[in-house]
A and B are shown apart, each in its own frame.
Chain A
Amino acid sequence: MTGLDFRPVFARLPFLLGGVGVTVLIAGLAFVFGLLLAVGLAVVRFENQGGWRRLSRSYSTALTNTPQLSQIFAVFYCLPLMGLMVSPFLSVVIGMTLNAAAYLADILGAGMARVPPVYHEVALTLGLNRRQTYLRVILPYAGRTMFPALANHFQIMILGSAMASIFGVEDLTGRAYDIGSTTFRILEVMLVTGGLYAVLSFALTGVFALCRRTMERIV
């Protein structure tokens, strides 16, 4: 294994580092929108006993049992057929959002089931309406108990966002592939990229630990 040459890669490091921002942006957007959807799904599951609950459950079962890549492919190929011309970036974000919502709804659902019954009673006694009960009592509690699981899923999404490169999005992996095909130093650039992902992930672990500690101090 001779002839590893990292110089062409380091010469293009700023371009590659810019991809980190795109990666975080994709994962971040999909996480936020996915979380919003997931809140809806989880509340439906909690409140409704009939068909809606089953529908919400089926959504999670269907999307957690199929690959995210195929889901993004489905979005990528099928939205244009419906007359919606979306950019590759947007179809990746939409696909990841739908996927994330399924997993996050399961996580939030588990968190909401752990809210002690007395919380519901207290909210009722205080005369909070249903919206206030959810926004001020149940969701904050569920979010706090489920924080580690949510943070973990965000990390998974950062790794999953590498799939965006397959659709031509210039995220970290996409840019690495670009550099690889112009400099023919694909192994070197992938090694550096792997390192960058690892650094990003370790940094996020640190940030989440800090968030958690701050949260515990405040509340």
Chain B
Amino acid sequence: MIAFSHYDIALLLQAMGRTVELSLGGGLLGIAGAILLTALRLSDLRYMFPLRMLAVLYVQTIRRIPFIVTLYIVFFCAGMMGVDVSATVVAIGSIGLIAAAYLCEILHGGVKTVPVEQVEAALVLNLPLWARWRYVIGPQALSAIVPPAVGYLVLFIKDTALASQIGVVELSQAGVILSNRGLPSVQVFCVVLLLYFAISYPLTCLSRLLEKRIAVH
């Protein structure tokens, strides 16, 4: 029924690897960026005020711009500045930029769920900064952060499909290539969708499990 040759299957698997690479790279970059942005937003130093405002503006605005537009902006910006990087790097960078904004909202919201009394008590006990975060705020905030964060990471695996628009051959683009080569479209797209499902579904289950296990209600 399916007329896939050896090369077609190799292309699909390679493209699937690219999708995983984009998701992982973008996700890690996003987590790093989100921690930085959240630290900025939570800092109460006076001279940090402009930076704090910038962080809030960034988080609020970038979440209202379609991923594909951000992708084009980063792509052409890199081109204009003469930065010579591959389209994959541009895509990972853009995913990181957006993921940082979404994850920052989740982190910030999670930290805010920790009751003020807890933080004040830690201050009264004269715990140093790292101990406050390690023993008081961190463990309590984590239960409000991890489930939605995993849920969000699952969401944006599917956004990596848009990287095809700047020339990254990832899973959805491989489907288009195979379809244009004259393979039966229905089969090709069924296989592509199934492969995405194979990446995404285990993570969805994980997110649901985390939700049940550790989420605060």
Contact = CB atoms under 8 A, between A and B. Distances in A.
Q: Which 6 A-B pairs have the closest CB atoms?
A: A162-B66, A201-B64, A67-B158, A67-B161, A74-B189, A77-B185
Given A66-B196, A67-B158, A71-B193, A160 B175 contact: no
Contacts, number: 106
Interface of A: 1, 3, 61-62, 64-71, 73-74, 77-78, 81, 155, 159-163, 165-166, 173, 176-177, 186-187, 190-191, 193-194, 197-198, 200-202
Interface residues of B, number: 38
Interface of B: 61, 64-70, 72-73, 76-77, 80-81, 154, 158-162, 164-165, 171-172, 175-176, 179, 185-186, 189-190, 192-193, 196-197, 200-201, 204
A163 B159 CA distance: 11
A67 B172 contact: yes
Contacts of B197: 62, 65-66
A68 B159 CA distance: 8
24 contacts: A1-B81, A65-B200, A66-B158, A67-B159, A67-B172, A69-B172, A70-B192, A70-B196, A73-B176, A74-B189, A74-B190, A74-B193, A78-B185, A159-B64, A159-B65, A162-B67, A165-B68, A173-B68, A176-B69, A190-B69, A198-B61, A198-B64, A200-B64, A202-B64
Contact of B200 (A66, A160, A165): A66
Contact of B201 (A61, A74, A165, A177): A61
Secondary structure at the A interface, as helix, strand, loop or mixed, is helix
